[in-house]
Structure 1
Amino acid sequence: MPGPTHSSPALPDEPGRADGAEARDGAVGTTGPVVGTGRTGASELIADALAAVHERFRDLDEGDVATYIPELATADRSLFGVALAGVTGSVYTAGDADVPFTIQSLSKPFVFALALMDRGLAEVLEHVGAEPSGEGFSSIRLDPVTGRPPNPMVNAGAIVTTSLVRGASEEERFARILAVLEAFAGRPLDVDGRVYVSESETGDRNRAIAYLMHSTGALTTDVEATLDTYFRQCSVLVTTRDLAVMSATLANGGVNPVTGEQVVDEVVTEWVLAVMATSGMYDYAGEWLLRAGMPAKSGVSGGLVSVGVGQFGLGLFSPPLDARGNSVRSVAAAHEISRQFHLHLMHRPDRDVPTLYQSTRADRLRQLAHRTPAQLRRLRDLGSAISVRAVQGTVEFAAAETILRSVDELPSPLPSGERWLILDLRRTARVVTLGAQLLRGLVVRLQGQGVHVVVVDPFERRLLAGVDQEFTSFEAAQRWCEDRLLDAARAA
């Protein structure tokens, strides 16, 4: 069985990386992203962790291969692949990560994303709900009032979602579905003709569901034509490596981290991941979220995708299924990876660094050049009226609260009532919406108290609106505040 591999996008100045593949136990072929010629220490650790998880569960021989689609019954139950794709574009694999299999229900979140891009959330929700069903993937239950299927992850909802993809014909509709799956995977994909025929010949339950929805008005397109598109959609061939890149695209706000293509809008990935978290694992969704705590989707061919939002995408494959239709090895391995990497959605994130790395005042700063002795004496005496708060990292609610508390009691003002606050954002990665709202409220409150708020941001990102001045260097901000202080002192 192939050993663990690590791949990353080819670099323009490294032509030798264009078509190679590396494995711990020897070279293997690849149909996915390009494989590098070496690992950094961090890459080695990730690859080793993935290999250890694979090794731990490779001999777990429980469950049964799906048989209700005859072609799926021919799968080799010993196959087991694990792949992880980071939002940086690096891909790590262990086991049978390049063995192709049909995507089946794993196509549902990605086609749901396309329908949302085409129709918008409001129109999609007119036809399919967003509530967990608590039932299996082939549930026939519909909303008794609206006739809608409960969510896009069960077969009923997925059939409706497929029908909502725009296309002048079913051929065009399927071409767009295949194109979006390829964009998520970052490479061309094919359809397994034998599985497609097998699904079509044995899809009576899906036909029953579709005709029932047609009678309620939830499905408005031609039943047989829509089902044909849906069966072809489920028969697209992917690998575990593909699944990792596809889920990493969701983790990365809709941008494929390998190709750099914006596949869908970021808000669409938020909607998709929300439904995956509550409904992607069918009647195991609640326990899955309790134990693994990640958005996920399973498929009857043995595949599973799971998303560490903002970090990486996970792809797994192993044909034997449990009683709920989820891959036994894939579920066990995903649970372990979530535990090791602390990926549970409810896990409190630890800050690597404090929000404030400096909290001081001008009389304690290094004095600027070209100040007269009299000015220096005045700044030593009155410099406490200029406060500095240097911020780093991402400013979300907790970070903004830290900043607010740090300025609850600024030093005493000049006799004129004036004070100055320099917010140094040189090490600030971004300010999220709620953080920006809180800081904007702080700026308004301080200005009402006679405090002039000045921002330092060399990137000129305009992270905070309404401040008195914004500078690209700290020295310029310091000089501006000191000049105002000296002017105010002379006027007094």
Structure 2
Amino acid sequence: MTNKEARLEEVRQFLPQWLEESRKEAASGEVASYIPELSKASHTALGIHLLDIQGDSASAGDCGMSFTLQSISKVFTLILALIDNGEDAVFERVGMEPTGDNFNSMLKLELVRPGIPFNPLINAGAITISSMIKGATPEEKSARILDFFRRLSGGSPLKVNEAVYRSEFETGNLNRSIAYFLVENGVLNGSVEEVLSIYFRHCSIEATCRDLARMALILAGDGTDPLSGENLIPRRYVQIAKTFMITCGMYNASGEFAIKAGLPAKSGVSGGILTFVPGALGIGVVGPALNAKGNSSAGVHLIERLSQRMDWSLF
């Protein structure tokens, strides 16, 4: 066996023990409360689902609980915007670099010319990307996003959590400030409220660890579904997404995660983490208690431990 093989049988044997050991890390975290609806999540929950390219799986913990994708959705709206507009058009309006700032910071929009978002995975970039999805109306754009996500999840009946969506829309004043600043900079076109409705809706799509693992499996297969053979994403756009996930996907802890786990990943403030071993398997994790960088305390610990034990790092 090479170090890139999933070895799910070995994982399955030890996963429950490793998960319970990682669950202890939740005590050091806090559930997100700036979106009020997210504060209702269980502080101690932790679940994981792994799915390999043969269709074999392993799971443990609270893997059946539902949660909203939040920033994990940004990976796939970026891919859809690339499909809709092409690489050149997307990167005229969004940059390719990490920021070193919080994901919801406006700082560099003013300080660094030409005032475009540094990358598609911070809020400013993801709001801009949301405005680039094709469709005649916000409703049509949101429907296209949801349909795309369902296809990537193997036909799972994903839906928007309307309570979380309303909570985000009613309290999202910082995102409104970012959006209006983007309008002022000539980056964002159209109605701010309409663009934000698209953005908040895709962040509020509800999923399980199994859904995340299935979506991650498409990225692990370079855009081709290993279970059906269908090509769903051009390989070039998966390359772009993987690069952003390594450099920006875990907020300001992306470098540390790359060193300790060595896998492309994207987290969300609901506690979800999507990651994968290229060519081998997709992984979905949820653990709502977040560390100071906004990532799942227990989830990060579990993924890092798995990667180190199984020698999955890309580096």
- What residue number does 1:460 align with? none
> More helix per residue: 1 or 2?
2
- What residue number does 1:177 align with? 145
Q: Which amino acid aligns with 1:209?
A: I
From 321, 326, 330, give the equivalent of 2:295.
Answer: 326
User: Alpha-carbon deviation of 1:248?
Assistant: 1.3
Alignment of 1:250 with 2:219, yes or no, is: yes
Q: Deviations over 1:53-106 (max 9, x none)?
A: 212212332210000000001111121101111122222211111111111111
Q: Deviations over 1:417-475 (max 9, x none)?
A: xxxxxxxxxxxxxxxxxxxxxxxxxxxxxxxxxxxxxxxxxxxxxxxxxxxxxxxxxxx
From 50, 54, 58, give the equivalent of 2:15.
Answer: 50
Alignment of 1:163 with 2:131, yes or no, is: yes
Q: TM-score, normalised by structure 2?
A: 0.93
User: Alpha-carbon deviation of 1:229?
Assistant: 0.9
Listed as ranges, the matches of 1:395-414 within 5 Å are none
The answer to whether the 8 Å contact 2:29/2:291 transfers is yes
Q: Which amino acid aligns with 2:305?
A: E
- What residue number does 2:178 align with? 209
- From the CA coordinates, give the structure whose radius of gyration is larger: 1
Listed as ranges, the matches of 1:291-330 within 5 Å are 291-330=260-299
User: Alpha-carbon deviation of 1:259?
Assistant: 4.5
Aligned length: 305
Assess, with a 3 A threshold, how the Cα gap between structure 1 residues 96 and 260 changes in structure 2: closer, same or farther: farther
- What residue number does 2:58 align with? 92
Q: Deviations over 1:316-361 (max 9, x none)?
A: 1011001111100010001011101212221xxxxxxxxxxxxxxx
Any gaps of 5 or more consecutive residues in structure 2? 1-6
Assess, with a 3 A threshold, how the Cα gap between structure 1 residues 50 and 129 changes in structure 2: closer, same or farther: same
From 146, 156, 163, give the equivalent of 1:194.
Answer: 163
Q: Which amino acid aligns with 2:182?
A: M
Any gaps of 5 or more consecutive residues in structure 1? 1-41, 347-492
Q: TM-score, normalised by structure 1?
A: 0.60
Alignment of 1:133 with 2:102, yes or no, is: no
Q: Output the CA distance in 1 between the equivalents of 2:18 and 2:225.
A: 25
Q: Output the CA distance in 2 between the equivalents of 1:277 and 1:180.
A: 23
Q: Output the CA distance in 2 between the equivalents of 1:286 and 1:45.
A: 28
- What residue number does 1:372 align with? none
User: Alpha-carbon deviation of 1:305?
Assistant: 1.0
From 185, 197, 200, give the equivalent of 1:228.
Answer: 197
RMSD of Structure 2 on Structure 1 (CA): 1.4
User: Alpha-carbon deviation of 1:278?
Assistant: 0.5
Q: Determine which structure has greater relative contact order: mean sequence separation of CA pairs < 8 Å that are 6+ residues apart, divided by chain length.
A: 2
- What residue number does 1:146 align with? 114
The answer to whether the 8 Å contact 1:87/1:249 transfers is no
- What residue number does 1:396 align with? none
The answer to whether the 8 Å contact 1:112/1:158 transfers is yes
Assess, with a 3 A threshold, how the Cα gap between structure 1 residues 255 and 162 changes in structure 2: closer, same or farther: same
What is the aligned-residue identity percentage? 42
Q: Please identify runs of 4+ aligned residues in structure 1 that moved more than 4 A.
A: none
Alignment of 1:286 with 2:255, yes or no, is: yes
User: Alpha-carbon deviation of 1:221?
Assistant: 2.8
The answer to whether the 8 Å contact 2:8/2:57 transfers is no
The answer to whether the 8 Å contact 1:245/1:256 transfers is no
